[in-house]
Structure 1
Amino acid sequence: MNQLYDYHVWANERMLDHLASYPSVFTKPMAGPFSSIARTFEHIYDVDRIWFSRMKESSEPAGGETTFSTAAEAKKAFTDLGKEMSRFLQEVRSGDTMINYRTKEEMLFQNTLSELVTHVVNHGTSHRGNVVAMLRTAGYGSCPTDFIYFLRDNPST
């Protein structure tokens, strides 16, 4: 569970570092599921915050719509959230811990912490794929963020 989340943090940081080399493309309007790459990362971040709030079984709302002006600003926010969430995951005894949470529609659900982490990681992977497509469609290169590259960069994990 922790390794999978570490991959998510690594992949976001790697993609945001790559995007910093194309500063004008980050907020440029583009065709895709979201109106820009910035909006895509804002969505990933907001969803990460919502699920982290649920993992903590917090009664406080996770917050509103985030906006990022630059890839560096997004990276800072993701790094801070990643550190907080990593600490939380290290303190939990087991990924089998059952988490009770409510959706925005107030429907009650229960899943293991490991299942929720897997969901967060899959959600991020899906939208980073959207970013790759947006970059390539606009004529820019991308960078690999596949799990195997994470393992190669982090052989001790």
Structure 2
Amino acid sequence: MKNLHHYHMWANERMLDHISQFPDVFKKPSAGPFSMIARTFGHIYDVDQLWFARMKGTSLLAVGETEFSNVQEAKEAFAALYKKMSQFLALETDGDRMIFYENTEGTSFQNTLSDLVTHVVNHGTSHRGNVVVMLREAGYRSCPTDYIYFLRDIEKSRA
């Protein structure tokens, strides 16, 4: 569970670092589920906040509409959120602990903490895929953010 969370942090940071090489593409209008890369990362951030609130036992009434002005602003916002999430998860010893929450329509659900973390990671992976397409459509290459690259990066840093 904690390793998946670290992967999610790593993948978002890696993609944002990559995009910082092409600053004009971050706010460039694009086809897809979101109007631009800035809004896509805003959505990932908003949903991460929503699920983190649920993990802590609160339910937000709506998903935000964050649109970052630039890559640095996005990196700072994610870093602050992930610091809080990492501290929270460091204290969690039971990934099977049931989390009771309501969705934005007020319907009650329950899932394990591990399930919620896995959902956050899958959601981010899906939208980073959207970003890959947006980059390619704008004429830029992407960078690999697959889980195996994260594991290799971790192994390399330990050596």
Q: Same fold (TM over 0.5)?
A: yes
Q: SS at 1:99's partner residue?
A: strand
The answer for the alignment partner of 1:24 in structure 2 is 24
Equivalent runs, 1:6-155 vs 2, <5 Å: 6-58=6-58, 64-155=64-155
| Contact 1:49/1:62, CA 8 A, preserved across alignment | no
Query: Per-residue deviation at 1:66?
Result: 1.6
Give the whole-Å Cα distance in 1 for the aligned partners of 2:48 and 2:41: 10
Query: Per-residue deviation at 1:67?
Result: 2.2
**Which one-letter code corresponds to 1:138 in the other structure?**
A
Runs of 4+ in 1 over 4 A off after TM superposition: 59-63
Structure 1, unmatched stretches of 5+, are none
Give the whole-Å Cα distance in 2 for the aligned partners of 1:93 and 1:131: 34
Q: RMSD value over aligned CA atoms? A: 1.3
Query: Per-residue deviation at 1:126?
Result: 0.2
Q: C-alpha offsets along residues 94-126 of structure 1, whole Å, 9 cap, x if unaligned? A: 101100000011000000000000000000000
Structure 2, unmatched stretches of 5+, are none
Structure 2 length normalisation: TM-score? 0.94
Structure 1 length normalisation: TM-score? 0.95
Give the whole-Å Cα distance in 1 for the aligned partners of 2:144 and 2:60: 36
Give the whole-Å Cα distance in 2 for the aligned partners of 1:20 and 1:145: 15
Give the whole-Å Cα distance in 1 for the aligned partners of 2:133 and 2:62: 29
Percent sequence identity over aligned pairs: 66
- Cα–Cα, structure 1 residues 8 and 58, in superposed 2: closer, same or farther, change >3 Å? same
Query: Per-residue deviation at 1:137?
Result: 1.4
